[in-house]
Amino acid sequence: MSTVSAYLTIRGIDIDVVYKDIKNLHIGVYPPLGRVRVAAPHRLDDEQVRLAVIQRLPWIKEQREQLRSAVRQSTREMVTGESHYVWGVRRRMKVVERPGRAHLELDGERLLLYVPAGTTTERRHQLLNRWYREQLRHVIPSLIAKWEPILDVSVPRWSIKRMKTKWGSCNRETGHIWFNVELAKKPPGCLEYIVLHEMAHYLERRHDDRFTKLMEKFMPNWRSLRDQLNNAPLAEEQWP
């Protein structure tokens, strides 16, 4: 039975290594964010795999760029009837044109967008993007507060931004953690996995065996959450 025996980071790219009863090494790059998976024969060790991946980095980067630039769905026009994901649930948008403050709110299975008449598509996109950020700002503090005493760490600062290739990142020198705004569209468990993942980097910088053991200790199902996140649809909107 094959198992993930290494979880490497090579020049900023996260890589799963699975050792199998095969003759040759195979490298795959998978949507939505270009996750890299290496199937390697048992005769190779982690360092030999690392060197092989480095040699293929130009090809890997090219594949990741193609994934990022590919159009997953038609560009959203932000009109009634379109679907948008909120916490992993597909919501139908209803646009209500009326005077007053522009804002969004959930109404049952619908996502209501209130805007003055004549509001541009770009402005509607901006409003939705801001609303997604607000959803994350409401939830992330409680998740951080939950994991700080468990890990015995403190998060001095965190931010939300749009990232092309990562769901989150951590600067160990400053302690600053960033979260991808796209996480507001994914199931809540996926967000908690990313929160723990980035906070665990306070204890271990690299995606090595110690890091993997930390994740398995605190969140035994982390791999299934990671796979759920990586297999979820990429942004259904093409943001201006």
For the segment 35-52, the average pLDDT, to the nearest whole number, is 89
pLDDT over threshold 60, residue 236: no
Q: Which residues lie below 8 Å from residue 226, measured CB to CB, with a gap of 6+? A: 193
Share of the chain above pLDDT 70, in %: 89
How many Å apart are CA 112 and CA 108, to the nearest integer? 10
State mean pLDDT over 144-161.
97
Please tell me which residue, 78 or 112, carries the higher pLDDT value: 112
Q: What is the mean pLDDT of the chain?
A: 87
Structure tokens at 147: 């994991």
Look at residue 238 in the predicted model and tell me its pLDDT: 34
Q: Which two tokens stand for residue 175?
A: 């302690």
Q: Give the 3-state DSSP-derived string for the chain, with helices as H, strands as E and coil as C.
A: CCEEEEEEEECCEEEEEEEECCCCCEEEEECCCCEEEEEEECCCCHHHHHHHHHHCHHHHHHHHHHHHHCCCCCCCCCCCCCEEEECCEEEEEEEEECCCCCEEEEECCEEEEEECCCCCHHHHHHHHHHHHHHHHHHHHHHHHHHHHHHHCCCCCEEEEECCCCCCEEEECCCCEEEEEHHHHHCCHHHHHHHHHHHHHCCCCCCCCHHHHHHHHHHCCCHHHHHHHHHHCCCCCCCCC
Residue 21's pLDDT is 86
Position 200 scores a pLDDT of 96
Cα 7 from Cα 69, distance rounded (Å): 26
Q: Given this model, what pLDDT does residue 32 score? A: 67
The residues, ordered by sequence, that sit 6+ positions from 47 with a Cβ below 8 Å of its Cβ are none
**27-49 average pLDDT score:** 86
Q: Can you name the CATH fold of 83-231?
A: Zincin-like (3.30.2010)
Nearest in space to 134 (alpha carbons), one of 181, 64, 192: 181
Question: Per-domain residue ranges for the chain?
Answer: 3-69, 83-231
pLDDT for residue 146? 97
Q: Round to whole Å and give the CA distance between 145 and 222.
A: 19
Q: What is the mean pLDDT of residues 40-59?
A: 90
Report strand pairing: 35-41 vs 13-20: parallel
- Choose between 4 and 141: higher pLDDT: 141
**pLDDT for 10:** 83
d(CA 95, CA 189): 29
The neighbour count for residue 168, using CB atoms within 10 Å, is 20
pLDDT at 3: 54
